[in-house]
Amino acid sequence: MRNHSILGLLAAAVLSAELLRRLLHAKRLPLPPGPPPRLLTGNVHQLPKSEPWLRYAEWAKEYGPIVTLRLFHKTHMILNSGKAAMALLDARSGIYSDRPESWMLGHLAGRKRTMFGLSSADARFPKYRRMLHAGLGRQATGAYQPTMERQLKVLMRGLGEKPEAFAVLIKTYVVSIALKISYGYDVSAENDYFVDLIEEGGRVADSLIQPFYFVEVFPLLRFTPSWFPLAFFKRALAKSQPVLDALDAVPFDWAKTQIESGRYAESFFSRYFSPEDGHVPDAEERDILKWTASSIYSGGAHTTTAAITSFFLLMSLHPAVQARAQAEVEAVVGRGRLAAAEDQKALPYVTAVLKEVLRWAPIAPLGLRHRVTKDDVYDGYLIPEGTTVIANIWAITHDTELYPDPSVFDPARHLGDNPQPNPLNFVFGFGRRVCPGAALAEQSLFLAMANILAAFNISRARDAEGSEIEPSVKWRTGTVTCATNFGCRIVPRFPDMLESLAV
């Protein structure tokens, strides 16, 4: 009861200020509709604990493409249509590219300077973007071909030897590429510390976003001692902090030591820490490098792993799609070599499979949050300054106006003279906040999918009697989602092909 009394007093105070603000602006345009809020707490009681993108999409059917939620005195709006998301986050990116203030993950956990959490008003923001675009743009990806090819061979040989470990092999493949590109680090063991660290770091970061923490709406709670009844967030933070600190500092220190010893491989890190012109980076430049290199390591690992995992699931469920893609790869590439990046234009159906995987199972179904920096009006509704704006990417890629029969997995929708909208325009973010590693992610996904299709048949798992098992798929709730709780049968198509893949 004591906790509820304290919370009630805090809620009453902030709500009074919010009601006063609304009364002063009573003649302004209305906000987009949404589920009816409670007087003090707003819609907090209605926040879904799992797969929130599905609940938001259901609300859109009742309230329209933009749904307003109030969490105490904070206004959130969910964009559930491609039209609204492109009109606001892309066309008006100048005022929709900021990030909302995050007390839990940003301030208290020290993550506000990550590429993903940095305010667009911060002087560092354009520096981050320039560095990452130079290091990850389409022109730069060619330099990473040897790394991707080497790790692809490791993945394919692993699938041939231990197909039941496909989930671990996928994760190792993706993180190995990210570590080599960002720091010049080679993954050399199954239980590699850096591979495990990125896995744990993602889990910990998600735990500080969900469930809902009251310090986000009552920042004064940050001054409370850890024993205080409402300070359970501090106890959660104490467990998470060491992992988050290590996520950025340990790879940075390792790469720095390698360069100072003269034993290092060229990487994004070495390019800026030890540039050819002899410039010695100062303390701020080193700090910027720490965060940008870490974003390659942490940002790309989970998303690409999720996409390839979905690919295995979908190929096991759609043998006809798989057979058509395999025939295309065999006709263009043959069996004597791996498919390369330059083969993509000649493999339109495989590219369509890639697009459809990302459409059907978007890797970050709610993307990352945006904050509008000044009052705006859209479709007759007010979007007040400071509103947190969330693009429901899952709802967009399942919007019947864009994708008829959206629940059907059909790569052919991306082919022909009138293809349906390219989901790559949605799944990697919007405006100035679009993922700077999108080109690299697309290329690594294409190479993995094309070559796995060439080398393996993927089907449903079988039980002891040999009968196919219908997968009972669950989706991990988090910033990045991933299909879990399913198995599949992976059988080499041409054993001699795998034997030729010397690493």
Beta carbons of 205 and 239 less than 8 angstroms apart: no
Q: Which two tokens stand for residue 190?
A: 């199954």
Neighbours of 271 (CB within 10 A): 16
Give the rounded distance of the alpha carbon of 87 from its chain centre.
Answer: 22
Torsion of CA 414, 169, 256, 245, to 10 degrees: 90
Exposed / middle / buried, residue 31 (Cβ in 10 Å: 0-12, 13-18, 19+):
middle
Terminal CA-to-CA distance of the chain, rounded, Å?
64
- Residues 141, 369, 482, 57: is their CA dihedral positive or negative? negative
Which of 503, 502, 501 has its CA nearest to residue 454?
Answer: 501
Among candidate residues 75, 69, 68, 57, the one with its CA nearest the CA of residue 21: 75
| Annotated binding residue 482 | no
Query: With the C-alpha atoms ordered 89, 392, 408, 318, is the resulting torsion angle positive or negative?
Result: positive
Query: What span, in angstroms and rounded, lies between the C-alpha atoms of 18 and 302?
Result: 38
Where do the DSSP E strands lie in 271-425?
Answer: 370-371, 376-378, 381-383, 388-391
Q: Which amino acid is at 247?
A: L
Tokens 């791996």 sit on residue: 338
- Per the CB < 8 A criterion, the answer to whether 6 and 63 are in contact is no
Burial grade of 275 (CB within 10 A; 0-12, 13-18, 19 or more): exposed
Distance between CA atoms of residues 7 and 13, nearest Å: 10
Whether residue 489 contacts residue 461, with contact meaning beta carbons closer than 8 Å, is answered with yes
Token readout for 205 is: 């970061």
Distance CA 172, CA 202 (A): 15
CA distance to 110, 121, 403, 423, 486, per residue, from 411 (Å):
42, 40, 11, 11, 22
Helix, strand and coil percent figures for the chain, each rounded to 5: 55, 10, 35
What is the spatial distance between Cα 233 and Cα 221, in angstroms, rounded to a whole number? 9
Which residue is listed with tokens 């105490």?
72
Retrieve residue 212's tokens: 């809902």
User: Residue 202 gets which letter from DSSP?
Assistant: H
The annotated binding site for heme is made up of 435
Residue ranges for the known binding site are 435
